[in-house]
Amino acid sequence: MKKNYLILAAIIASIGLASCSNEEYVGEFEGGTTGERAISFNSSYGKVTRDEKTGDAAASLLNKNFVVLGYKGGNQIVFDNYQANFVDASGSSAGSTESNSAGWEYVSYKNLPFGTKMATGDELNDRGVAANATGSSTNIIQSIKYWDYNASTYDFFAYSLGAGEADTDGDADSDNQYAKATALALTGYGDSDTHPGYQLTGSQSQLGMCYISKQKHIVPSSSSPTEVDLEFVNFLSKIQLKFFETIPGYSVKDLRFYIDDNTKSDSNPDVEGNDGLVPALYGAANSIPKGGTYEITFDASYDPVITLESTTGYTPDSKVEFPTTLSSYASYDYKETDVENTYIGRTASTATATSPLSVLPNSTGATLTLKMDYTLVSRDGTGETIDVSGATATIPANYTKWMSNYAYTYIFKITDDKLVPITLDAIVKETEDGSQTTITTVADPSITTYQSGAVTNEYSAGNIYVAVEDGGTTVLTVGTNANLYTATVEVGAAQGLDGAGNVAITEEQVANVLTKTLTDGKYTVTDANGKKMTVTPVATTEETADRLIGGQTSIPAADAPGSKELAINCATFNAVNNTVYVFEYLHYYTAVEAATYNAALTGAVSTSDTNPSTSTNYTAAEAATYNAALTGAVSTSNVKSKHYKVIKVGTPTAVVGS
């Protein structure tokens, strides 16, 4: 059988690194050549969707080197930890050899596997290898490679240790400037070597200089030769916090943050009055990785899967503290008269923000808490203030599974829901295009809603998922502990509308309306100004397109963060545009809560009281049984509290009445 070969030239044509959410990426591009000839590479892009970096600028971020493994037919090694090196910043050598078309070369280098790098200040020899690079004289010389068009597939993946970073994290190996890498190999998980892998070990500062590629899967074709375009991503994630408020008549200022339930943040104890100024999130002990050994494998879509294998030598933390205080809010509103810009924003687009912070990937996630104090200032000219202490929001662990090269923004919205405790919404945007948005309303328990796709305000028409953290992710059963309503507002003609006709609907207002009597299938309240609010239960029949469906155990891949199925107890509904929905969660007494409530009833007994039937003190069980029979006693079948989440879809407007 005749075999056709074509030269496989430089592994990369032109590395393009893109900047997104202050993160650096290696971008993707389209292009290629045709014909029976050596592969020609160029630096042009068929489609540029991000701020690309190419040539020397891109090569510098990779420290002009990456290590690649390539194999064909599923298991035959072609590139065994080959070093690809950027040898000519000017590009004058590009095209001078069949394997170098954009300044990158791998042919005739000594094969120095496992991430061997040149140290700072090293001079390159005539092959670009550092003069003092480790490795014996017997290291193999890398040879040129050719396409085998009888091979069914080719696969490639690579990493770069970047420019290295001096140890700043107190890791176990402070003498090593670079992270350490194991050999790229066809071992990992999954079906017969289709998911290869390797490991990277280091502190956060060292790993932060690393770049990892996606797995490039190619079906070779002699009629249309394929360029090997490796798309790299930076190893770290970035997170950012933003804050805004929607409290009528008040402004919010002087936010102070905590690093645990009882301690305020203080990144600069030498500055008087600095307590709490630094924004922070905190969780359980050792829940935030600061370094360790990470396993990199690939899923069926060829995306990297990063799993923290060990933190040996790198002590995890319980908190994330941002390096700077909040930025100043850029404008004033009605009767805000302070000299300084101390007030936070009033919309998601004008939210007051922290600087982005780099964090290590965390495949398991961690439940993180934001706790803060702040001050409300009346905008009626009186200057009245209200100090709010201990307002708390919880970000569920499912939404803190930070992934490499993803940017996460947590936006906390302070509303007027009962004020004590204040309700905080946490809006999470994940990935460089903002395709994930979750909103967590925290009023103990927390209600988290999720919708796929970029969202400029809150939600758009389509699937919305709801999860409740109530001592663990709660199973939601429609008609038992979960219900869905729509809410509308009608205003009198004399009252008028604000702006484009929008009238705010808050959780507190809805809770008030639902205390009224259900009449003609609706709950209604009209205030003294003629404003009428109507809350209507959404039918649960199959004919109702936006009905709430409970008992879900996952968010499917098509709707889930990063297009990966998310296992979580939830309910879902298909939202209609320009509609205000209200999700209701009913918290039933737990056994402990019921016992505590009953023990406080008039006539209740305890283990210090004498049981007349036995002439001895009541046992705990006897006291509980006695108290449960008292008038007014409650049980686990009684609702203790009701919690609401307003979900605005599109741009709902009020109706002008007569």
Residue 527 CB partners (closer than 8 Å, separation 6+)? none
In terms of domains, do 112 and 240 share one?
A: no
Whether residue 421 is preceded by a cis peptide bond, meaning omega within 30 degrees of 0, is yes
Cα within 13 Å of Cα(617), Cβ side: 6
The answer on 400 and 256 residing in a single domain is yes
- Residue 287's pLDDT is 93
On whether residue 370 sits in a domain, the answer given is yes
Residue 631 CA to residue 303 CA, distance in Å, equals 61
Q: Domain boundary residue among 426, 444, 462?
A: 444
Q: Do 339 and 244 reside in the same domain of the chain?
A: yes
Residue 573 lies in a domain: no
In a shared domain, residues 63 and 157: yes
Q: Is 283 exposed, middle or buried (0-12, 13-18, 19+ CB in 10 A)?
A: buried
Domain finish residue from 198, 228, 258: 228
One domain, residues 223 and 270: no
In a domain, 522, yes or no: no
pLDDT score of 14: 28
The CA-atom distances, in angstroms, between 211 and each of 66, 431, 435 are 9, 17, 23
122 phi and psi angles, rounded to 5 deg: -65, 145
Residue 150: which region, alpha, beta or left (left: phi > 0; alpha: psi -120 to 50)? alpha
- Residue of 461, 462, 395, 463 whose CA lies nearest to 430: 395
Domain count, the chain: 3
SS3 assignment, position 563: helix
290 falls within a domain: no
Q: Which of 444, 462, 485 is the last residue of a domain?
A: 444
pTM, 2 dp: 0.71
78 assigned to some structural domain: yes
Judge whether 414 lies within some domain. Answer: yes
Task: Confirm if 304 and 159 have CB atoms less than 8 A apart.
Answer: no
Please indicate, yes or no, whether residues 134 and 265 belong to a single structural domain of this protein: no
Residues 158 and 272 in one domain: no
Stretches where the chain sits below pLDDT 70 are 1-58, 87-104, 109-140, 166-176, 187-195, 223-227, 267-274, 328-341, 348-349, 416-444, 453-458, 492-504, 529, 561-562, 656-658
pLDDT of 330 reads 53
DSSP reduced 3-state for 370: strand
Shared-domain flag, residues 154 and 254? no
- CATH number for the domain spanning 419: value is 2.60.40
Domain that holds residue 94: 5-164+214-228
**What is the predicted pLDDT for the residue at 444?**
65
Residue 332 lies in a domain: yes
- 111: in domain: yes
pLDDT at residue number 230: 78
Task: Say whether both 116 and 16 belong to one domain.
Answer: yes
Give the separation between CA 617 and CA 609, rounded to whole angstroms. Answer: 5
Same domain, 378 and 247: yes
Distance from chain centroid for Cα 92 = 43
> Are residues 221 and 244 both part of a single domain?
no
Q: Are 532 and 438 in contact (CB under 8 A)?
A: no
Task: Kindly list the distances between the CA atom of residue 518 and the CA atoms of 544, 547, 640, in Å, as whole numbers in the listed order.
Answer: 20, 19, 21
CA distance 619 to 611: 9
d(CA 440, CA 437): 10
Per-residue model confidence (pLDDT) at position 133 = 46
Query: For 598-610, what is each residue's pLDDT tens digit?
Result: 999 999 999 999 9
Residues 408 and 440 in one domain: yes
* Residues 6+ positions from 341 with CB-CB distance below 8 Å: 328, 329, 330, 331, 332
